[in-house]
Structures are given as structure tokens and as C-alpha cells.
Amino acid sequence: MTAACARNAAQRPEHTALICEDRRTSYARLHHDSNRAAHALLAAGVGRGTRVAYLGRESEHYYLTILACAKAGAVIVPVNWRLTAGEVEHILRDSEAGLLFVDEEFEPTARQAAADGALPSLHTVVRLDGTGPDGTRDRGAGLRRWYAQAPSTDLDPGTGPDDAVLQIYTSGTTGLPKGVVIAHRTFFTLPEAVSASGTDADEWIDWREDDISLISLPGFGIAGIGWFLHGFCVGATHVVMPMYVASEAVRLMSAYGVTITFVAPAMLQMMLDERGVTPATFASLRKIAYGAAPISEGLLLRCLEMFGCRLAQIYASTEAGSVAVCLPPSAHTPGSPLLQAAGKPCPGNEIKVIDRDGNQVGPGEIGQVCIRTPAHMIGYWKRPEATAQALVDGWLHMGDAGYLDEDGYLFLCDRINDTIIVAGQNIYPAEVEKQLSEHPAVADAAVVGVPDDRWGEAVHAAVVLRPGASARPRELLLFLRGRLADYKIPVRYHVLETLPRNPSGKILRRSVRRQLGEEHQRASA
């Protein structure tokens, strides 16, 4: 990553690296300023392996700090700005972050998270915002003042491909957020493998130096940050959105001639629903990559008709680091049964399906999906047991059940870990259920995802009330506000007499999901 930054600055110094709110940053400026920020990190006591957190919206300043951390040998910890103070506090405390970059907008959240000495490792807070020369608010003025006196000379952090550079928080079936530690190698293994394979790069997910890439997915997740870093390594131009708004995405595509982007299916739906869009609106696009949530065949066919470019589906995870499985553009043919597939392994990757005993099963047999990829995570931060369960002999055990057909295409059946995905955002039932169960009227709760035409899935809660107690849906919703990020709060609440459980007491979410899904369909009819 550090070598790519220096190479881009030397070979194409005036080429635009980033565009955000019509502000342009060249590769030379990005290299120069990230060097200064890296020196400022070292002066602030940030050393090799130190965790540096970032709480703010997408901007050129975010990507500058990512590069600065890499040059200083530090590890960037992006924090989802939608989280509550309690959730932010957990991430900062668990990661042992020594420094925090924060937008003015989220300073109150940061102060609340650090109250009463809750974050003993946090010694420095850098506010990104400030006042510009003309007296108006400038999103990067505070950051620039912080590193203004630092030198701009190149640095050698002494890190290698297998050293950590990124720590992203995701949750497992327990609902407790875990830090997924990602190495430098994650962001160049796929392009190298595709190149070495001798196959047509356009059949996979490829990035070109003349691409104008729209970053639509949040940078606090592996999809957004990975999309930037893969394109950055080849010197592409990136158009950054502080947050996704469909009308703005359409405008940016037209205004800057966007050639490639990565989106969740719900984002595709919203763009297509924008008033006045025609195939001409998207004339500059050469490829759309989509993933992070299920997509309906109807939406896929509509995309083929409207966008007029090549489509490729991505199947991956935070733990996988990069694209592991891809449904190539050639498979996107109306009426093809492959439109139901997740895809086939990208070059350099392998896939297998195993039964409960860990034995590999044959084509057509359903089991747990496992992937072997050189981009996989280093492990879960300070959780060796969880790492050992997820990474077994080099194979990453995914949370999905599926099967392979005779040609090696992967078809997914269900998510083993019951993760709910709303517009590309992962929601973990146990976390929501824990908060619901703290309501005095709730004796038991189960949270599931129900298919939703707009968002892919919607969060529904089934609750069992205590004897003699009552609670209206709005009361439960208001109770959860402030305890959970808004996107995690269920949109509908169903009162049941009991929850289905197996003999060991585990909630049978598949039964709950089916029951609530049928109820939702009846209500929508």
C-alpha cells in the first residue's frame, strides 16, 4: 500500500486520486499529505501496531488517514458512525485505540464513549473539522492544522505483506463485536492472481488506471474500504460520497463519467427508481459489481435492461478480506439458471462444501461453505479460540449453507449464522434480542430478517410478553432508540405465546422467519 502510494505519486502526480463534494485531490497531494500525517502520528506516540480509530463520514480525509496509518505502521480502526455511544465505546476499548480521528458531528458520541475513564488507552483525539481561510467550516481544516508542522519525507514502517493494516469490527452469533484484523496482502492478492491466471480480467472484478470509480458503500466496512484500496493500487480515480443518496449517486455518475462501482442490490433498486433515469444516464458505466445482500431475479433483469454495462456479483465476507467468489458478466444472461448462483471461485481461491463432521460433500449436496483465499484475515483481535474456529487448516468457514453444481458454481441456501443484511449492513440478532429482553414487559425475544423488496431484508422481532404485561410496538421501538443504531431496530413487532426452540433451548430462527414472513406477505397482499 505504501509502495503504491509512492509509485502513483511519481508516475501520475497530477492524476486525480479522490473527488469528494467536488473537491479534487491529486495522487501527488495525497502522497505528500499522508506522509505528513504519518510523521504526526509518530510524533503523537503512535507506533507500529498501534490502533488508530476513525469516527466520521466518508471523505478524502478518511482515505488520507488510512494511508498515513499504513506509512506509520499503525492499524486503522474505522468506526461505524451510525452506532450509539455504548457501541462506539466497546470498539474503542476492545481495540485499545491510542488515537481517535473524529468529525465534529460525532464529537458528542466520542465524549460520551470516553466518559468516566472508560478508554484508558486513548491518549489523543484529533478533530477533523475546523475553520477555513474564508471563515467557513472546512471538514479537513483541523486535520491539516494537526499535521501542518510535520515533514513530508517518505517513511519506511518496516511492515510486510502479512502485517496488520486494518481492523474492522463485525459480530458473530454471540452478538459481541469482534475485531477482524486484515493484512496489507489482502488488497493486492486478487489482481495478482487474476493476472497470473491468464484469464480475461474483465470476467472478474477488475480495476483499471483510467477508471472513474464511485465508492457507494460505507468505508467503515470491508466493502467500501476494500473497493477504494484495490482501485488505489492501480491509480484509478475515486468519487467519494459522504453517505449514500440515490439521487446524488446518479448525478455523480453522469457528472464525472463513472465507469465502475460496487453497490448493494437495494442501492441498485433506488437508482433505478429515480425519476427521469434512462439508459443514457448510465452511458459511462463499463461494469457494476454488486453483492453484500441477496438480489431478486426481477431486479437483476431490470438492471440488465437499464444499465447497459457488464454486471458481476461478489460473494465475500469481512473475514475473507477480498472478493472470493464471483458470478462473471458472461453468466448474466436473461433466463440462465446461473442467475441464481453466487458465482465461482476467483483465480487464486478455492471453495468446498462440508458436512457437520467436516467432510467434503459432492455436487448438489448442501453443507457449510468454506473458502481458501490468500486474502483472508489474520484473525480476530485477541480472540484465538474464535480464530481457530473460523480458520481451519487455511480454510475459512463461512456462515452460509450452500452447494456446488457440477461446474463448480456456488448456490447459497441460507445463512448458518442468521445474520440479517439490510441494504448491505450486517445486523446480528443476538445483539438486538439482548436489548429487547431488557424491556420490563418482554420475557423472550427472537429477531429475524424477512424478505423486503426495497432493502433486501427487513428486521422483524417476535416477542413473548411477561404474564399480565403489555407493550405496544411503538413502545418497544422507542425503548430501543439510543440503545442500538437506528438501522438495527426492528421495523415490525409480533407478539407470540411461545418461541420455537430445539431441545437444547436454541431459538429455531428458521421457523420464526417462516412464520413472520407468511404473516408479512398476508399483510402486504
HSE-up of residue 91 (Cα within 13 Å, Cβ side)? 28
Query: For residue range 392-406, what is the model confidence (pLDDT) as tens digits?
Result: 999 999 988 899 999
Beta bridge partners of 273: none
- All three cell numbers of 349, joined, read 481461491
Which residues neighbour 131 within 8 Å (Cβ) at sequence distance 6 or greater?
137, 138, 141
HSE-up of residue 104 (Cα within 13 Å, Cβ side)? 10
Beta bridge partners of 421: 426
385 CA to centre of own chain: 24
Overall CATH class of domain 1-159? alpha beta
Q: How many residues does the chain have?
A: 525
Cα angle at 400 between 446 and 178, to 5 degrees?
70
Domain regions of the chain by residue span: 1-159, 420-524
The C-alpha atoms of residue 165 and residue 222 are separated, in whole angstroms, by 12
The C-alpha atoms of residue 481 and residue 460 are separated, in whole angstroms, by 15
Q: What is the full DSSP assignment across 90-149?
A: HHHHHHT-SEEEE-GGGHHHHHHHTGGG--TT--EEEE--EE-TTSSEETTHHHHHHHTT
The C-alpha atoms of residue 186 and residue 165 are separated, in whole angstroms, by 10
pLDDT for the residue 301: 87
The C-alpha atoms of residue 4 and residue 343 are separated, in whole angstroms, by 30
pLDDT for the residue 516: 83
The C-alpha atoms of residue 472 and residue 474 are separated, in whole angstroms, by 5
Report mean pLDDT in 10-residue bins for the chain, 525 residues: 92 97 96 98 96 96 97 97 92 97 96 92 95 81 96 94 95 70 95 90 93 94 94 96 94 97 90 93 96 79 92 94 94 90 95 94 94 97 96 94 94 78 82 88 90 87 92 94 93 91 69 80 70
Beta bridge partners of 291: 314
CATH second-level architecture of 420-524?
A: 2-Layer Sandwich (3.30)
Average pLDDT across the chain, whole number: 91
pLDDT for the residue 173: 45
pLDDT for the residue 172: 46
CA dist 152 to 39, 70, 156, 171, 256, Å? 8, 15, 13, 38, 30
